[in-house]
Chain A
Amino acid sequence: MKGLPSLFSPGFPTYFLPRALLSHYRRHPMQLLALAAMIVIATMLWTGVNHLTSQARTSLDQSVQAVAERQQLVRDDGRGLVVDDFVTLRLAGVCVMPWLEVTPETGNRLVGIDPLAAHCFGAGTGTAQVLNQPLDGKPFVDMYAAAGVSARESRLYLLTPEATQATDLPGGYSLKTFSANPDTGELGDSFLLNLEALGVLVLLITALLLRAVYLLGLAQRRDSFALLHRFGVSPEQVQRWLVLEILVLALVCVVPGFWLGRWLAAGLGSGFGQALDGLFDIPLYAGQGQGWITPVLVMLAVVVIACLGDLVLLRFRGRLSLPVPARAGLATALLAAGLVLAWLGPSLAWVFVAVALVFAGAGWLTPAAVAHLAHWCADRSQAPLARWRYRELAVLARQLTLPLVALQFALAMVLAVQALVTTFEDTFDRWLGQRLEAAYYVEVPAEAGGRKAAEWLTSQQASIPGLQWHRVVRGQAQLANAGNLQVDVFAVSPVGSLMRAWALLEAADQPWETLASGEGVMINEQLARRQRLQVGDRLRLILGDQPQAFPVLGVYPDYGRPVGEVLLNAETLPDNFNVRFESLSVTPGEPGIAPVSDTLQQIWGVEALAMRDNGTIRELATGVFDQTFALTRAMTLLTLILAASALLMMGWVFFSTRAWYFRLLVVWGMSQREVAGQLQRLALLLTGGIAVLALPLGIWLTWVLVHRINPLAFGWSLPMAVYPAFWLELGILSLAIGLSIAALMRQQLGRPAVAPASASALTGGER
Chain B
Amino acid sequence: MTESLLAVRGLSKHFVSGNETVPVIEKLSFTLGQGQSLALTGRSGSGKSTLLNLLCGLELADTGTIVMHGQVFEAGGTAARRTATAWSALRRQHIGVVFQEANLMPALSLLENVRFRAQLAGRDPANSEDWLTRLDIGELAQRYPDQVSGGQRQRAALAMVFAMGPALILADEPTGSLDRHTADEVTQVLFDLQARHGCGLILATHDAELAAGCQQHLDLGHLNAV
Chain A residues packing against B (C-beta within 8 Å): 384-385, 387-388, 391-392, 394-395, 660-661, 664, 666-672, 752, 754-756, 761-767
Contact = CB atoms under 8 A, between A and B. Distances in A.
Contacts of B53: 752
Given A384-B120, A764-B153, A767-B146, A669 B91 contact: yes
Contact of A668 (B92, B101, B112): B92
A670 B116 CA distance: 12
Contacts of B22: none
B45 to A, nearest CB: 13
- Summarize B's interface: helix, strand, loop or mixed: helix
Given A664-B105, A755-B102, A764-B153, A671 B84 contact: yes
Interface in B162-207: 177
B6 interface: no
B102 A668 contact: no
B145 interface: yes
Contact of A667 (B97, B101, B108): B97
Contacts of A661: 102, 105-106
Nearest to B115: A384
B116 A387 contact: yes
A385 B115 CA distance: 11
B103 interface: yes
Contacts of B146: 763-765, 767
A385 B117 CA distance: 10
B73 interface: no
A468 B196 CA distance: 102
B107 A391 contact: yes
Interface string B76-106: 0000000011001111110101000111111
B92 A672 contact: no
Contacts of A391: 105, 107-108, 112
Given A384-B115, A388-B105, A670 B97 contact: no
Given A387-B112, A765-B106, A767-B107, 12 more contacts: A384-B116, A387-B108, A388-B116, A667-B58, A670-B88, A755-B101, A756-B101, A762-B101, A764-B102, A764-B104, A764-B153, A767-B106
A423 B89 CA distance: 57
A670 B53 CA distance: 15
25 contacts: A385-B116, A387-B116, A388-B112, A388-B116, A391-B112, A392-B107, A395-B107, A667-B97, A669-B95, A670-B88, A670-B92, A670-B120, A756-B101, A756-B102, A761-B106, A762-B101, A763-B145, A763-B150, A764-B102, A764-B104, A764-B144, A764-B153, A767-B107, A767-B145, A767-B146
B4 interface: no
A664 B106 CA distance: 11
A669 B106 contact: no
B211 interface: no
Contacts of B93: 669
Contacts of B177: 762
A764 B97 contact: no
Contacts of A384: 115-116, 119-120, 125
Interface in B96-142: 97, 101-108, 112, 115-117, 119-121, 125
Contacts of A671: 84-85, 88
B103 A664 contact: yes
Interface of B: 49, 53, 56, 58-59, 84-85, 88-93, 95, 97, 101-108, 112, 115-117, 119-121, 125, 144-147, 150, 153, 177
Nearest to B96: A668
Given A669-B88, A762-B101, A767 B144 contact: yes
Nearest to B147: A764
B172 to A, nearest CB: 10
Nearest to B144: A767
Contacts of A660: 102
Given A660-B102, A756-B102, A668 B120 contact: yes
A764 B88 contact: no
A670 B117 CA distance: 11
B159 to A, nearest CB: 14
Given A761-B102, A765-B146, A666 B108 contact: no
Contacts, number: 89
Nearest to A671: B88
B145 A764 contact: yes
Nearest to A382: B119
A183 B85 CA distance: 74
A89 to B, nearest CB: 87
A669 B89 CA distance: 6
Nearest to B149: A763
Nearest to A755: B102
Nearest to A763: B146
A387 B145 CA distance: 16
A388 B59 contact: no
B186 to A, nearest CB: 16
Contacts of A395: 106-107
Nearest to A375: B107
Contacts of B102: 660-661, 664, 755-756, 761-762, 764
Contacts of B85: 671
A65 B144 CA distance: 69
B8 to A, nearest CB: 20
Contacts of A755: 101-102
A672 B120 CA distance: 15
B23 to A, nearest CB: 18
B59 A752 contact: yes
A668 B106 CA distance: 15
B7 to A, nearest CB: 21
B153 to A, nearest CB: 7
Contacts of A756: 101-102
A384 B91 CA distance: 17
Interface-central residue, B49, B59, B120, B125, by most chain A CB under 10 Å: B120
A678 to B, nearest CB: 12
Contacts of A388: 105, 107-108, 112, 116
A766 B116 contact: no
A668 B95 CA distance: 8
Nearest to A672: B84
Nearest to A667: B97
Nearest to B177: A762
A764 B106 contact: yes
A668 B108 contact: no
A660 B106 CA distance: 11
Nearest to B102: A756
A755 B99 CA distance: 9
A681 to B, nearest CB: 15
Interface-central residue, B49, B92, B102, B150, by most chain A CB under 10 Å: B102
B51 to A, nearest CB: 14
Given A763-B145, A764-B144, A767-B146, A667 B106 contact: no
B93 to A, nearest CB: 7
Nearest to A764: B145
A387 B146 CA distance: 19
Contacts of B103: 664
A178 to B, nearest CB: 73
Contacts of B108: 387-388, 391
Contacts of B104: 764
A666 B95 CA distance: 12
A659 to B, nearest CB: 11
A755 B106 CA distance: 14
Contacts of A394: 107
Nearest to A663: B58
A671 B57 CA distance: 11
Nearest to B98: A667
A395 B105 CA distance: 11
Contacts of B120: 384-385, 668-670
Interface-central residue, B49, B116, B125, B177, by most chain A CB under 10 Å: B116
Contacts of B121: 669
Interface-central residue, B108, B119, B147, by most chain A CB under 10 Å: B108
A-B interface, 8 closest residue pairs, ranked by CB to CB distance from nearest: A669-B92, A764-B145, A764-B146, A391-B107, A764-B106, A669-B91, A384-B119, A384-B116
